[in-house]
Structure 1
Amino acid sequence: MEFGWTDKQLARYDQVLDATKLAFPDPPGAGHGFFGRKDWLALGDLGMLGACLPEEYGGGGLGALDTARVVEAVGRGCPDTGLVFAAAAHTFACAMPIAAFGSAAVRRRLLPGLAAGRLIAGNAMTEPEAGSDSSALTTTATRVDGGWLLDGTKSFVTNGPVSDVFVTYATVNPRAGFLGVTGFVVDRGAEGVVVGPPHEKMGMLSVPAGSVTFEDCFVPEEQVLGAVGGGAAIFQHSMGWERACLFALYVGLLDRLLEQCVRHARSRRQFGRRISEFQAVSHRIADIKLRLESARLLLYRACWSMDRGEPSVLEIALSKLAVSEGVLASATDAVRVFGGRGYLREDGIEAALRDAVPSTIFSGTSDIQRELIVKEMGL
């Protein structure tokens, strides 16, 4: 097994990390509401939005492992985890399905803008009664002359309130379960698209998320993703990329949290000693390091497996579970290391905790990942 990086890979990571710190210098808590188009264009300039998209459309043409390293660097360098999450969801849940399954016309029209940051995409999958059970969609697609009419509501669309385009899924046959699910690309300006206001959320405060309703919304035939009835496979394809590469941003966040905890433990003094000399503190930091390196290796292995074209369900589920549970536990420990200061917004520790909580929910809950793991084990 080879655990080393090439000079090119190391240089790319350092370049992206340094550029990210320059582009996003403000610490958490400096808050300016939701991200703006200037922020999005900066992410395009960093190469994050198009890292894994084909070069012919302005992307980087990178594989899963190299893409994950780009996302990790941005997650480490950018203090606004919500912005990085928004970018990753845009890329893996929207741009990648378009690149892999979209028509030639749709790819030419949308991918350059998605890669450069001129366009923002939202993944419209979750419904009020269809979260983990993605085969129970009630949004319908009815064939009409020249395309399809969509009807239904999507309840939690990341980037939804500001998206220019949506990747959504609807059923063409409710009795067919997942075999009736079909993917569509829908322009925000299409008649019948109703975008709801942003939700009030616990964390990820800079990324707007809201409902999107389709009311007799016409989608032309060329904007169907893949084959009719093949939407479940397309969604799972995007989830593979999302569960592996998106969660690299949390590896970057863990790196940043660990650095902050080490600095604080070295400088903070209580009872005449640095708090790093107390095992209750130093062992807690050791646990953060253990979770970070364990999650990092599992994530790299999952991406490596994807790049080799191997079946990767088990590897991706293990990675997603380790990263999400690891970052939640570690962010909680970081608050304890910082004590009362960790509860304040100044250092961004409490923000990291709030941003870590949804990692165990989106892209398949931790319990869903455990179900995938035991299924792959033959249980």
Structure 2
Amino acid sequence: MEFGWTPQQQAAYDGALAAARSVLPDGFGTAEYYTRDHWRALGEAGLLGASVPVEYGGGGHGALDAALRFEAFGKGCPATGLVFAAAAHLFACAMPIAEFGADAVRKELLPDLCAGRLVAANAMTEPEAGSDVSRLATSARKVPGGWVLDGLKNFVTNGPVADLCVTYATTDPAAGHLGLTAFAVDTGTPGLLLGEPFAKMGMLACPAGTVEFRDCFVPDERVLGAPGLGAVIFQQSMGWERACLFALYLGLQDRLVEQVVAHVRERRQFGRRIAEFQSVSDRVVDMKLRLESGRLLLYRACWEMDRGGSAVLPIALSKLQVSEAAVASALDAVHLFGGRGYLAETGVEAALRDAVPATLFSGSSEMQRRLVAAELGL
């Protein structure tokens, strides 16, 4: 059993951390949306195609090596929404195309997705269908040469600025989860409408909104896999997302621990450094414990993915632990900074707002508990 990184992995992490710290210009506000220049910088850093095969312009990395890079960006880039947007683009859009798209579609789309010349959005969630993907109201009916899509998607990360949507629609209502089909759709296609960005609590650098399909024709070659494989494709992408995307929250927690340690060493109250008060040091220890526990679970989940083992249980445990820990530790950081933690200048309050949705997207904490219970035979 090996717990250390190889020299190559350490070098990759260090390089990604340096790139993360330089990707945003000085003065960039975390409430601003990212620009195409930011996006291309992520592509140049290798983040947008980390796990895409080299032959299609990606880095060719497995789950663990991709996660290390997102962990570095989560630590080094204060605009968590930008890193989240990149992860959603890669794991929920580029990877389904890489693993299930026709070769011509891979050659057409993946190089531009990896380089940052295209922005992709995953359009799955609907107003009445979040966790239950077998009840999608969006439909696709077969016509000569392709499919016609109708329906509304909600909470679409990157949606307002996307060039491409990976979306899912019901093609056989009687077949339940076996009646879903996945599509890769250009957003310039007639009948595809992008909504305005939502006003959100956190992840402010990342625009999210609705995507609507109104008699939107999609050619047969843009079907991913085959008709009826949509649920399989989605669950595969969720494996990538729940394991690798949440590495950015390890980076966020790592950043918070460093900030808090520096603060409590320097801050003095009642003639003493506040680090000397047991109630303070206990909170810092709890933050570190959550970080390292989540890190071990996430690396284990990625290791299982890379070795081709059954990863449902470790991925669910990892997602649950890391997301819950991010919220708890960000709240601890606010408490430890006191009044300053409530001010925007420290970035601590932004970390808390960015952490809250981690327990909701990619399957809520409640859904992860149901997955774990099922894997235990309960």
TM over 0.5: yes
Pairs within 5 Å for 1:204-353: 204-353=203-352
Structure 1 position 23, deviation (Å): 2.2
Q: What CA distance in whole angstroms lies between the structure 2 residues aligned with 1:201 and 1:17?
A: 27
Q: 1 CA distance for matches of 2:117 and 2:62? A: 23
Taking the aligned partners of 2:287 and 2:32, their CA distance within structure 1 comes to 30
Give yes or no for contact 2:194–2:211 (8 Å, CA) kept in 1. yes
- Which amino acid in the other structure matches residue 273 of structure 1? R
Q: What residue in structure 2 maps to residue 151 of structure 1?
A: 150
User: What is the count of residue pairs matched by the alignment?
Assistant: 378
Relative to structure 2, which stretch is displaced further, 16-25 or 197-206? 16-25
Measure how far apart 1:169 and its partner are.
0.1
Identity of aligned residues (%): 66
Residue 42 (structure 2) aligns with = 43
Provide the rounded CA distance (Å) in 2 between the counterparts of 1:27 and 1:299.
33
RMSD: 1.0
1:26, distance to aligned residue in structure 2 (A): 4.3
Q: Which residue of 1 aligns with 2:163?
A: 164
Structure 1 gap ranges (5+): none
Distance between the aligned counterparts of 1:4 and 1:324, measured in 2?
23
Q: 1:27 to 1:269 in 2, by over 3 A?
A: farther
In structure 2, distance between residues paired with 1:7 and 1:33 = 36
| 8 Å contact kept, 2:30–2:78 | no
The residue matched to 2:135 in structure 1 has which SS?
coil
SS in 2 for 1:198: coil
- Report the AA paired with residue 43 of structure 2: G
Instruction: Give the match for residue 14 of structure 1.
Output: 14
Counterparts of 1:135 and 1:342 in 2: how far apart (Å)? Answer: 42
**Offset of 1:31 from its aligned partner?**
3.9
Change (3 A) 1:313 1:67: same
TM-score between the two structures when normalised by the length of structure 1:
0.98
* Shift of residue 25, structure 1, vs aligned partner: 5.6
| Structure 1 CA distance for aligned equivalents of residues 135 and 241 of structure 2 | 21
Amino acid at match of 2:339: G
Paired residues of 1:27 and 1:347 also in contact (CA < 8 A): no
- Provide the secondary structure at the position in 2 that maps to 1:184: strand
Amino acid at match of 2:137: T
Q: Name the amino acid aligned to 1:304.
A: W
Letter in 1 for 2:97: I
TM-score scaled by length of structure 2? 0.99
Q: Secondary structure at the match of 1:141?
A: strand
Deviates more, 1:121-130 or 1:102-111: 102-111
Deviation at 1:45, TM superposition (A): 1.1
Aligned with 1:154: secondary structure? Answer: strand
Query: Structure 1 residue 112: deviation in Å?
Result: 0.3
The answer as to whether partners of 1:195 and 1:211 remain within 8 angstroms in 2 is: yes
Instruction: For residues 108-128 of structure 1, give each alpha carbon's deviation from its aligned partner in whole angstroms, at most 9, with x where no partner exists.
Output: 111001001010000000000
- The alpha-carbon deviation at position 4 of structure 1 amounts to 1.5
The letter of the residue matching 2:123 is A
Q: Give me the whole-angstrom Cα distance separating, in 1, the residues matched to 2:363 and 2:103.
A: 30
Equivalent residue number for residue 366 of structure 1: 365
Q: State the distance in 2 between where 1:176 and 1:138 align.
A: 14
Which aligned pairs between 1:182-193 and structure 2 lie closer than 5 A? 182-193=181-192
2:87 touches 2:245 (CA, 8 Å); kept in 1? yes
Q: Contact 1:50 / 1:59 at 8 angstroms: preserved in 2? A: yes
Q: Secondary structure at the match of 2:372?
A: helix
Q: Deviations over 1:171-204 (max 9, x none)?
A: 0112211010000000011010011111111000
Any stretches of 5+ residues in structure 2 without a counterpart?
none
Q: Flag as ranges the 4+ runs of structure 1 deviating above 4 A.
A: 25-28
1:139 paired residue number: 138
Letter in 2 for 1:8: Q
Aligned to 1:124: 123
Q: What are the superposed Cα offsets for residues 21-71 of structure 1, whole Å, 9 maximum, x if unpaired? A: 12236478x346211001101111111101100101111000000110011
With over 3 angstroms needed to count, the CA separation of the structure-2 counterparts of 1:84 and 1:131, relative to structure 1, is same
Contact 1:27 1:79 in 2 (8 A): no
Residue 146 of structure 1 and its aligned partner are, at CA, apart by 0.3
Counterpart code for 1:187? D
